[in-house]
Structure 1
């Protein structure tokens, strides 16, 4: 349907609802109309902007915000814009622009009615960031305690980063190609259990007194700590101080400006001194987390990350390259843990088509090259490359060992050598990309990789029902290889990463997992716990 067809229809459909076409039409790409939103508490005039291309829901803005909704109300911005749906919760039907517009008006009416009746106050918590702060800073703090902090400025104040470890944060600056320098700024972090929400009456806070009155409604202990820290800065003759409050919802900050003329009051902290303190001007600061814990935890909330764990991975090939990156993104190598990666081979031209590494690392040892690439992505991660055969390597103290080589004989050796000391996860590809599998041996009663191979020889715990033929490509004995695309390697790595996260969470997950990738094959074994095989030469006592 063209614009010439649906725009007049939308205008006609809105007339019975009391809307009218207005002049001038000064919003390029949008049709502007005005009319009432009908609620149980009366009608409220609004401006309605309709997308001329029929790609987006209409924008709704109240022409006069009711006094009961000032200065803040959920889903209503300072200019009166009404957020009547959350992004991603509704799908705009481009084939029914008229129906979608009418639906949007009725939904806006319902949301406004709920707001007027006070049914959405908790939404202020989720929308707090929309009401807080025009200044911006980043925070790279691993400690969970209230404490005094320092700050670094990147590239002459282009970025302001609060930190509890200048060396760690400087590595992040270097990864961005920026220089960092210490900022002479008095900074405190305070922990609270209260989720912030805007305060009705005075918003945003303009003075220290406003901040303390607001905090009294949220967390009195936090209020006392804020006042104490501001008073300390006041007495120390600081020019300004930054208070960062870390809440369960998000961190937020305030900058307190302490002009020179205030310093004569610094020793008069009785009643009159406090009155002067409360009059100091403040600026809300929007805070964005930049710490390793946040990066790992954000996409797996309520699930343990791999931070603090000592993980060893043998094999940095087609599976191992992708797997190591997934483990690092889940926190491996951070929080005091480390990720050791072992591989004696160099990257060759024939590896490039399905490897995490690229042309820039050609002829470099895979473990060394992969470590370099991972540290470019996460400069503070402790990635330890071991460019040697694992049988000659000192792996040190580990919490988990991963075999991502796909070499059956080496898998036997790893099991025999380490199964009594640490859990061992094996990840491999069946045939030419027929299926991917993972097996975790974390207990003595669980099967090891050699147990499973012996079971397979007797047709037990197979990956697929059909016969998996050996497929080789290339020429000559040394140039032969099993062909499969990078998508298979990535799926094997994903299965391995899921198994590691399940292990870290101590969940009752199956020890053996299988994903069949080829449509002409069917799964033979459901994910399950495989018992150790009596008499196994690799893991039997």
Structure 2
């Protein structure tokens, strides 16, 4: 349904077309200005010049009522009225600064540079996907972590094009100017008022490089914006590009109209940004030496979550340990898929993480941790996600007898058939160690989550080489990994929160027990008589 009419009937009388294409109102009605410049001297915020579409409402922030279509459409029109009046009268000039990228970009450039970087950088075309011929434009100091990924995916050493990064004020533009700039003359005219320190930067960069194309980056408080300048084919002569290269800037001043300009918006992918973006005010795991024992069902997902939380970055290190190989029976609930069959799980997970996050310093130990326990003492945090009680008891013994020099140990596992996830942080001598949670091996756990009449189901399938397993859905493993990761993040942020936590995932099989900080037990065979 399409309706024609005017916005701001008593004032601007701006003609629009309102298109209601979604009667569920998941997406708001589309409002397009018939004349995008009506009522103003030119461009105003929230209007896309290409087709006059008016951005008046954030459909993800406001829920529209599908059961009241007439009132909903009126609500949208009133909101559009208000936004348009404020925009034309200059009340939303800051919005134009915030939206600058929408009016600038012909494409995007991935930025692997610190936010405060200024000076010479390099533009490179890199392959991130071995199965695709597509290349991404990336700017860095020439030694980006993504270069390793590029070469891993069959890419050759990429040519690096000079790209000076220049600090400029917040960028906007004069609606009376031709926009966006399409040649060097228009670019320099705009930069004279918007970014005076960058005027002439293209010409100087051409003189310092080779070829007929040149880049610069305008680093502003409202984003980092790239200029790609390309000399028209008719002027790409050896005389200009080689013999008179040192004076090319002077020549370009006379042929500014023959230098095509394209704009690109920068998208940060640097290590500091990627691993801080989702953390809010929390500290991530960067800079820590973390050892994860067990890269199975729970540990595989946990390895990925730890890495995405910054483990293995910022001079930190993530070490993965497992002595088992990935089998066909594991595919239904493991992080890794068929390309990793018959590979050691620790090696496979480390390889997978390097592919996903090339910044990581991640190593693997494809054998039992008990073969070399000295590595444990070199960590800031040890995580045991094996779910193997005998191994956990052995690690706990090393931790308790090694205090206070031994790092804290975080244990995590699933109870029953994934009926509950449990995690406990140990290391505080006044609180429970792992063995304090079940003093007698054949006894009742201190926190008995599983209901008394529930029997743990096991499976046996020798044909798959999987002699014994406990069935539970993959969702339970992912939840357990998340619980353990949360406690690791709390540790990195000062150790707040309860040390023992659980999540009940099947209320028919398990009961909910409040999180707590359980005290040590004197009769515990591990920590009894240990001061």
1:43-89 CA distance string (max 9 Å, x none) = 22112223276664321112233566444322111132211111312
TM-score, with structure 1 as normaliser: 0.78
Contact 1:313-1:339 at 8 Å conserved across structures: yes
Matched, 1:32 2:2: yes
The count of corresponding residues between Structure 1 and Structure 2 is: 499
Q: How does 1:86-235 map to 2 (within 5 A)?
A: 86-141=58-113, 144-154=116-126, 158-166=135-143, 168-174=145-151, 177=153, 179-190=155-166, 196-202=171-177, 203-205=179-181, 206-215=186-195, 224=197, 226=198, 232-233=204-205
Q: How does 1:313-324 map to 2 (within 5 A)?
A: 313-324=292-303
Query: Which of the residues 14, 34, 45 maps onto 1:63?
Result: 34
Matched, 1:250 2:250: no
Contact 1:36-1:46 at 8 Å conserved across structures: yes
Matched, 1:518 2:495: no
User: Which residue of 1 is the match for residue 130 of structure 2?
Assistant: none
State the secondary structure of the residue aligned to 1:395.
Answer: helix
Return the offset for 1:277.
12
Distance 2:88 2:115 in 1: 41
Distance 1:103 1:424 in 2: 56
**Residue ranges of structure 2 left out of the alignment (5+ in a row):** 128-132
Query: Which of the residues 361, 383, 399 maps onto 2:380?
Result: 399
Return the offset for 1:134.
1.2
Change (3 A) 1:244 1:450: farther
User: Which residue of 2 is the match for residue 375 of structure 1?
Assistant: 354
Change (3 A) 1:424 1:36: same
User: Which residue of 2 is the match for residue 491 of structure 1?
Assistant: 479
Distance 1:40 1:440 in 2: 67
Contact 2:454-2:509 at 8 Å conserved across structures: no
User: Which residue of 2 is the match for residue 439 of structure 1?
Assistant: 424
Matched, 1:83 2:55: yes
State the secondary structure of the residue aligned to 1:51.
Answer: coil
Change (3 A) 1:325 1:255: same
Query: Which of the residues 421, 424, 436 maps onto 2:409?
Result: 424
Distance 1:262 1:479 in 2: 71
User: Which residue of 2 is the match for residue 15 of structure 1?
Assistant: none
Return the offset for 1:401.
1.0
User: Which residue of 2 is the match for residue 22 of structure 1?
Assistant: none
1:282-327 CA distance string (max 9 Å, x none) = 5422223333443333333443333333211001111101111122
Please say which of residues 181-190 and 428-437 is displaced more in the overlay: 181-190
**Residue ranges of structure 1 left out of the alignment (5+ in a row):** 1-30, 216-222
Distance 1:488 1:449 in 2: 22
1:170-203 CA distance string (max 9 Å, x none) = 223245x4524433522123457x6544555444
Distance 1:94 1:149 in 2: 51
Change (3 A) 1:191 1:454: farther
Return the offset for 1:111.
1.9
